[in-house]
Chains A and B, each alone.
Chain A
Amino acid sequence: MKTRAVIIVAVLAVFIACEREERGFRVQPPDAQRINSKQLTDIQAGQAAPTQPIINEYEENAFAMAEGKRLFSQMNCVGCHSHGGGGMGPALMDNKWIYGSNPDQIFSTVVEGRPNGMPSFRGKLPDYQIWQLAAYVRSLSGLTPKDAAPGRNDGLQTKEPENSKEPETPHRVTPQTLR
């Protein structure tokens, strides 16, 4: 009886990582339409309305996160944000967020662009690739599950890998306080 239980557990253990490595080449990303009504600030008129958080499933998927990492370099995000440490653009591996740290807020920041330098990628990347980017951006400050976040670089390692990053507690700042 005991042996059987051990065998069952061992067999199940083999399958634990399956979803992580699943390669969705034909994927259904979160609905981009729902983003349009996204509010960027915590301040609102009247009472706060209950909102349903948008879950980005790519944050559970190592392949999608690795794709996001590749796009982060190839679409030249590194040009301003460096590898998360920031430069001309704000750092992405700290706990300070100007336009929100939720997946949908990051999605909308990439699509719309933001004042003082962040270009708009509207129509320049398919939605699903922007979701992959958003997942990777959150992994920079440890906000995604460690089992899916990238653990290595294709090129030289510039910093500790994303899956070793201790999660930051996001809080909102104004651009002025970053200067």
Chain B
Amino acid sequence: MRNSSERFGQQGILAIAGIFLAACGHGNQSAMESAGVQAGRLSGLWWLFFWITAAVYVVVMLLLVVAYFRVPRAGDASEAEIRPDERRERRVSNIVKGAVALTVLTVFALMILSFRTGQAIDTLSQATAPLEIKVTGQQWWWQVEYQDPIPSNIVTTANEIHIPVGRPIKIDLVSNDVIHSFWVPNLHGKKDLVPNYPTTIYFQADKPGVYWGQCAEYCGYQHAKMRLMLVAESPEDFNVWYAASQQPAKQPTTDPQTLGQQIFLRSVCAQCHTINGTDASGRVGPNLTHVASKPYIASASLENSRENLMNWISDPQSMKPGIRMPMNTYSESDLNALVDYIQSLK
């Protein structure tokens, strides 16, 4: 009997450890690993809260243990309990008063620290000449537009944001359907995207790297797979990427690619997707002008491989049930040509 209960305990610990490890799937997607000054302030505040509350917890638990051993047992009620000693009563009352005051002070200190952190984070919104990006939340993907006074210079992409390190970023957040929430934990806290109510978030990345973002407000069927890849790179690399993204799509060079482009333009694809430099100008789905240069498709939930593209085009409902993209029936040769063309859109 004892053996089995011991084994059960071990399994329980393993299961709990497993639950904690389950969150580690995406490497560094964590507010504890800050890559920018704001996330740094947030995680600093978090650790401060953690140590202070941990200390309070330990002290309270210790006192509880002491109290447990000092409590009078049934049967040893003496006269002292029946007629309380006044000096002792006063001491106890002072201890309680002191503890209440200490608690209030601690809570106030934490409140002021939170407030100061919020103020410090907000200073970035005063920065001059931030990089301005507009992010539109859709069920279930992110549209990303780099603002430019000249409309033809606006870069439109999806589910992938490139930013230069060391430069403040201003992101205008809007939603086309329901409430979403923009969250790249390594860079900043969450900010909601509310329909008909534009919001703004400012942040800055100080360390180059790839950071994962996630919709943090339940928004329907594929909320969990509404992901976002944020690439922070050196200003030089960013400029190279930005200049390449401003170019219209490459024209097809081979026969299958040409056929693929025709299929794209004459069938359902062009109703929803835009490819700059072609007649495809749908505004419902993501802009596909440079889709082949992206490492992921389907809101950063699938690797951008030929096999995935083929499955995605013919039966997206099996991979992300409920999304807006319909199932499509193409002959195998047509599908191959279509994917040839899409993979040429570097």
Q: Are A129 and B326 neighbours in the complex by a CB distance under 8 Å?
A: yes
Contact mask for chain A residues 93-133; partner B; CB cutoff 8 A; 1 contact, 0 none: 00000000000000000000000000000011110110000
Contact mask for chain A residues 137-159; partner B; CB cutoff 8 A; 1 contact, 0 none: 00000000000000000111000
CB of A23 closer than 8 Å to a CB of B: yes
Q: Are B284 and A124 neighbours in the complex by a CB distance under 8 Å?
A: no
Chain B residues closer than 8 Å to A123, beta-carbon distance: 266-268
CB distance from B320 to the nearest CB of A (A): 10
CB of B224 closer than 8 Å to a CB of A: no
Option from A26, A70, A124 in Cβ contact (under 8 Å) with B271: A124
CB of A15 closer than 8 Å to a CB of B: no
Residue of B nearest to A24 (CB): B317
CB of B305 closer than 8 Å to a CB of A: no
Residue of A nearest to B285 (CB): A74
Chain A residues closer than 8 Å to B196, beta-carbon distance: 155-156
Q: Are B177 and A125 neighbours in the complex by a CB distance under 8 Å?
A: no
CB distance from B203 to the nearest CB of A (A): 29
Option from B177, B284, B321, B328 in Cβ contact (under 8 Å) with A154: B177
CB of B322 closer than 8 Å to a CB of A: yes
A74–B324 CA distance with the chains assembled, in angstroms:
11
Q: Are B268 and A125 neighbours in the complex by a CB distance under 8 Å?
A: yes
Contact mask for chain B residues 305-346; partner A; CB cutoff 8 A; 1 contact, 0 none: 000000000000110011010111000000000000000000
A156–B195 CA distance with the chains assembled, in angstroms:
10
Option from B177, B266, B271, B322 in Cβ contact (under 8 Å) with A23: B322
CB distance from B250 to the nearest CB of A (A): 25
Q: Are A128 and B326 neighbours in the complex by a CB distance under 8 Å?
A: yes
Q: Are B327 and A126 neighbours in the complex by a CB distance under 8 Å?
A: yes
Q: Are B321 and A75 neighbours in the complex by a CB distance under 8 Å?
A: no
A124–B271 CA distance with the chains assembled, in angstroms:
7
A74–B283 CA distance with the chains assembled, in angstroms:
8
Segment 257-275 of B: residues with Cβ below 8 Å from A:
266-268, 271-272
Chain A residues closer than 8 Å to B284, beta-carbon distance: 74
CB distance from A127 to the nearest CB of B (A): 10
A75–B270 CA distance with the chains assembled, in angstroms:
11
Q: Are A124 and B321 neighbours in the complex by a CB distance under 8 Å?
A: no
Chain B residues closer than 8 Å to A23, beta-carbon distance: 322
CB distance from A148 to the nearest CB of B (A): 18
Chain B residues closer than 8 Å to A70, beta-carbon distance: 324
A70–B177 CA distance with the chains assembled, in angstroms:
10
Chain B residues closer than 8 Å to A25, beta-carbon distance: 317, 321-322
Q: Are B317 and A126 neighbours in the complex by a CB distance under 8 Å?
A: no
Q: Are B271 and A125 neighbours in the complex by a CB distance under 8 Å?
A: yes
CB distance from B242 to the nearest CB of A (A): 29
CB distance from B259 to the nearest CB of A (A): 16
Contact mask for chain B residues 190-218; partner A; CB cutoff 8 A; 1 contact, 0 none: 00000110000000000000000000000
A154–B272 CA distance with the chains assembled, in angstroms:
19
Chain A residues closer than 8 Å to B268, beta-carbon distance: 123-126
Residue of B nearest to A156 (CB): B196
A75–B177 CA distance with the chains assembled, in angstroms:
16
Q: When A126-B327, A126-B328, A154-B177 are in contact, do A75 and B322 touch as well, CB less than 8 Å?
A: no
Q: Are B317 and A26 neighbours in the complex by a CB distance under 8 Å?
A: yes
Residue of A nearest to B270 (CB): A124
Chain A residues closer than 8 Å to B266, beta-carbon distance: 123
Residue of B nearest to A123 (CB): B267
A129–B268 CA distance with the chains assembled, in angstroms:
11
Q: Are A26 and B327 neighbours in the complex by a CB distance under 8 Å?
A: yes
Chain A residues closer than 8 Å to B328, beta-carbon distance: 126
Chain A residues closer than 8 Å to B177, beta-carbon distance: 154
CB distance from A111 to the nearest CB of B (A): 13
CB distance from A61 to the nearest CB of B (A): 14
Q: Which of B266, B268, B271 has the most CB of A within 10 A?
A: B271
Chain A residues closer than 8 Å to B271, beta-carbon distance: 75, 124-125
CB distance from B307 to the nearest CB of A (A): 20
A154–B176 CA distance with the chains assembled, in angstroms:
9
Residue of B nearest to A126 (CB): B326
Segment 51-110 of A: residues with Cβ below 8 Å from B:
70, 74-75
- 9 closest pairs, A vs B, by CB? A25-B317, A126-B326, A25-B321, A74-B284, A124-B271, A123-B267, A26-B317, A154-B177, A25-B322
Q: Measuring CB to CB, which residues of chain B are less than 8 angstroms from any residue of chain A?
A: 177-178, 195-196, 266-268, 271-272, 284, 317-318, 321-322, 324, 326-328
Q: A25-B317, A156-B196 are in contact. List 12 more A-B contacts (CB 8 A).
A: A26-B327, A70-B324, A74-B284, A123-B266, A123-B267, A123-B268, A124-B267, A125-B271, A125-B326, A126-B326, A154-B178, A155-B195
16 example contacts (A-B, Cβ-Cβ < 8 A) are as follows A23-B322, A25-B317, A26-B318, A26-B327, A123-B266, A123-B268, A125-B271, A125-B326, A126-B268, A126-B328, A128-B326, A129-B326, A154-B177, A154-B178, A154-B195, A156-B196
